[in-house]
Structure 1
């Protein structure tokens, strides 16, 4: 019989989203050290990163990504993982359309609203620098308090600041209560920055975003690659009911069946005869699920500290309606360029300033193609609704193959590093798989690429905060025949209390009682943080960081390791004189 000291450490991972998959991948690279089982109640890996099929003859593409759309180019861990597997995100200009009518503004051209708020916009840049220098106290201050403290106008906060933060960090209708530190990091943090600040227009330019490829295929390839080393077993369609124990069992003399961690689970297959509750024992546990689900699974096993920290994560319930209702979009958003929104020419401006503004208007007339929209409810302008134009955003609507613009033979910058690519990757890279819906792409974008005409675009509208805002929702205005898909989400709130009661205290529960936590909720709701959190949990168990030596990837990993686990990288993984 193999002794516990000589056999691989048995690790249970609950959750096969970005964080669980990252932890499993890092552990899979050590088949002699770890034996891993990944549980997820769903039948596919990916968590929130899902793809759904749509009618290519009607919409000009055969699928959409649902839930996770893309990311900033600074998301180094996500990008390296995807490219290594044989998938390449597509660059897209991040155009926004906020508000309607007199309240409309955009980062594509100067509008009357940005002219109205010139003083507030100029002051905003100075305040960002103050917040950066004094980040710790400002992390505990909600945005609405900061706006009052520095004398910003109420309209500036509601019409410009709240929509900006809500859209890109998923804070929704909790935006007035989020930490000021998030606001500052949108502009200042090199690992999270989305915008360049401009003292006249707030946003300096149209940033480059990366639109994800077909996420179903990415995660399936990720699963196959992780399982290929033989030490990771995926139990999808298996629902973990509870954590029975996190202390060494004395009920069994067989050291291979006993262990500190005992869980209870049940298959979720359609075959009722297979739905039998089972138990399994492990040495270590990684909870790669949301905080309240983790707390529910722990039940009486949860410590006082875990109850306090996990119980302080607040979740909101939103619904996403994917639809094809252009009339709805035109009613509530500015979908097309309208010169009546142009800002007045600058008074006493130089010839160059006049020319610059004229160039912006000319560019917008030809190229205004928003990806993101927000609308404020007239009854309460601190609350918003968000929408996406998926046809503008996702590259399959312009004929890109499911793997994105990656060449099968390209091995530069870690692309296609997986030696034996699964068939799903090879199919996703096949040029012919980008032709779905080709005959229905009868319109053209500003670069002349074929895409569906505007009336055939696929939109997503997110109705936020069911419990606090449903009375304001206009979802009943989207007729059933225009709806493609409806999905409810549980969304983390980034209110300031999260940075007072959760983030600083994660290090005090991570690693206790053979348990580690992974998930973007531990800091900020971003795919990159989910990936990094999974790598960190595996690293604490003794696995190597998979992207060791890559400074761009290591930067956030080491920051997360210190913030959420309270430890430094191991000595052999540190550099410099003071390593």
Structure 2
């Protein structure tokens, strides 16, 4: 290829990974000509927003697929802030189980008291798993629990719900790699909790609720397109990768696609490129490759198992109260041991008093009585998402604030400027007749918007309680395709990605390549672009580079280029 001729790159998928790859490549307008295909009409993939009735629920929209992130999600946070969007801090309160099986990270309950010995042992187990991570990566959680001789109830009532909720492992949790469990507590790039030897979870960790994702991704698209070397083709579905080694003068990568808008479709069209980035799920990668897939690709991609879940967004408080602990109930308080010191007794009383005034769960899980290894998950979106308390779609950001990379994309993009309009936060103000613990107006509990996720259609739908949600209370229903983090994923896919990434002019991007998190999706897109020769956009930012370097080594089998390294071992 002539040095003056830009490399033509096809990106399939405009979710977090595809947008990240496109962004990194867009920063080199003379070197890359990029085309992004997505069968949907907007960018975002699973990161979507939908409208709701502001007069009824107190806000005009919800984020319905991706809710928020840990403070460790450095690449995601920096990208959003650059675009003019700011995640909102929230205290991550959890309500697990119901009745005698209830526990929470807000106050000690009878259940945490019952499992006090297992909780202490759990801390020792985490340290062992960390030391022997290579071994435990291949050991499923249910086997690990037996190895360390945990009680069955402890695994079912505390460990399974905890992991399932925050990694989306759902009803496959007993079969996931034990290494994920350790990462929840120990990995600085992925940690969600701090372990406590008395209550399992140390405190109410700070999480971040995302700003309006539809607007954020629209601004992201604007920023990428502003450099002139990236073309977005929405409502364009890639049907087949015809060749990745075509002898045609037009280029080695040949694809077929069609344009679809509503009921209208075009006939198949052909396009040629020099490289292709598949920022879609593994099943879709194989479907597009078809006969073009190599033996290795079939083995590695075919090993990823997908499950089908349905999310029901609703306003059925009666349903929530039937299956979850929605309000503080002092009858669940852990007994204060008679031998406790005056200081310990006062600390416990203060915790119970705090819970009485401030118990506001964001996350819920419920175990099915027929099979306690299987669960259902719910969110209180009114507690979680800040627009229900009057926050503007861009989140708590000032258009003049340029600290810590905020509003770095100048001039401020149309999408960001519109989302920063404070008046947009006024939608639904009349219904906010309740208050949170800080005294900020929010809708009363009977007007809250909830989301319940029914997991694993093919393996658990006979247990689902979706029929108990009253029809008139349902707002929206949406099906999702989710990867399973079973231990086989960490044996047959994760360590082998490096052997297919970059081969045959093809690069893979997506959180599925390691772990289902928005941050990993973003990092995977940056890594694909980096392998094509682009710069890591946040070079020099140690927080952002930490996960990027780990991912580059794990999924691509390489490290930073010589000019990007600070030392021989970096």
TM-score range normalised by the length of the shorter chain: over 0.9
Taking the TM superposition and a 5 Å limit, the aligned residue runs for 1:51-200 are 51-200=49-198
Q: 2:24 aligns with which of 18, 23, 26?
A: 26
The alpha-carbon deviation at position 6 of structure 1 amounts to: 3.0
Q: 2:422 aligns with which of 407, 421, 431?
A: 431
Task: State yes or no: 1:560 paired with 2:560.
Answer: no
2: CA distance, partners of 1:507 / 1:271: 40
Deviations 1:467-505 (A, max 9, x none): 000000010111211000000000000000000000000
Contact 2:83 2:413 in 1 (8 A): no
| 2:409 partner SS | coil
Task: State yes or no: 1:513 paired with 2:504.
Answer: yes
Match of 2:274 in 1: 283
Contact 1:401 1:432 in 2 (8 A): yes
Cα 1:500–1:356 shift into 2, 3 Å: same
Task: State yes or no: 1:477 paired with 2:475.
Answer: no
The alpha-carbon deviation at position 268 of structure 1 amounts to: 1.1
Cα 1:265–1:577 shift into 2, 3 Å: closer
Task: State yes or no: 1:494 paired with 2:485.
Answer: yes
Q: Which runs of 5+ in 2 are unaligned?
A: none
Match of 2:328 in 1: 337
Deviations 1:28-79 (A, max 9, x none): 0001000000000000000000000000000000000011000000100000
Match of 1:323 in 2: 314
Aligned pairs, number: 570
1: CA distance, partners of 2:356 / 2:497: 49
The alpha-carbon deviation at position 271 of structure 1 amounts to: 6.5
The alpha-carbon deviation at position 221 of structure 1 amounts to: 0.2
1: CA distance, partners of 2:251 / 2:567: 40
Deviations 1:103-162 (A, max 9, x none): 000000000000000000000000000000000000000000000111100000000000
Match of 1:268 in 2: 260
Match of 1:459 in 2: 450
Q: 1:47 aligns with which of 45, 48, 70?
A: 45
Contact 1:312 1:498 in 2 (8 A): yes
The alpha-carbon deviation at position 276 of structure 1 amounts to: 2.2
| 2:461 partner SS | helix
The alpha-carbon deviation at position 5 of structure 1 amounts to: 4.5
The alpha-carbon deviation at position 427 of structure 1 amounts to: 1.3
The alpha-carbon deviation at position 422 of structure 1 amounts to: 2.3
Question: TM-score, normalization: structure 2?
Answer: 0.99
Contact 2:235 2:261 in 1 (8 A): yes
Contact 1:269 1:275 in 2 (8 A): no
Contact 1:57 1:437 in 2 (8 A): yes
| 2:218 partner SS | helix
Q: What's the C-alpha RMSD, in Å, of the aligned pairs?
A: 0.9
Question: TM-score, normalization: structure 1?
Answer: 0.98
2: CA distance, partners of 1:39 / 1:370: 39
The alpha-carbon deviation at position 576 of structure 1 amounts to: 2.6
Match of 2:564 in 1: 573
Match of 2:373 in 1: 382
The alpha-carbon deviation at position 4 of structure 1 amounts to: 4.6
The alpha-carbon deviation at position 249 of structure 1 amounts to: 2.3
2: CA distance, partners of 1:112 / 1:271: 57
| 1:387 partner SS | strand
2: CA distance, partners of 1:358 / 1:522: 46
Deviations 1:350-402 (A, max 9, x none): 11111111111000000000000000000000000000000000000000000
Runs of at least 4 residues of structure 1 off by over 6 A?
none
2: CA distance, partners of 1:570 / 1:323: 50
Contact 2:9 2:32 in 1 (8 A): yes
Match of 1:259 in 2: 251
| 2:462 partner SS | helix
2: CA distance, partners of 1:425 / 1:134: 46
Contact 2:8 2:273 in 1 (8 A): yes
| 1:126 partner SS | helix
The alpha-carbon deviation at position 537 of structure 1 amounts to: 0.1
Match of 1:293 in 2: 284
Q: 1:369 aligns with which of 356, 360, 371?
A: 360
1: CA distance, partners of 2:516 / 2:262: 33
2: CA distance, partners of 1:442 / 1:119: 44
